[in-house]
Amino acid sequence: MGLGISRGCITIESIKHFQHIRLLLKSNTSTKIKGTDILAYCVVVVK
């Protein structure tokens, strides 16, 4: 674990919002990140 690249973080201010986002992410099928053995649920774009 720990082989991914982190270019920032997401701060979620309430447990209710965290649980909602977690449910959305985990409802996706995981896929390997190209060129690695790391599994991801999605790409999160924060604007």
Distances (CA, A) of 9 to 12, 22, 35, 45: 10, 15, 23, 11
pLDDT digits (tens, 9 = 90+) for 4-29: 566 667 788 899 998 998 898 889 89
Global confidence as pTM: 0.53
The pLDDT value recorded for residue 25 is 84
- Is 60 exceeded by the pLDDT of residue 2? no
The pLDDT value recorded for residue 7 is 63
Q: Is 38:2 a contact under the CB 8 Å cutoff?
A: no
Three-class secondary structure of residue 13 per DSSP: coil
Q: 33: exposed, middle or buried (C-beta count within 10 Å: 0-12, 13-18, 19+)? A: middle
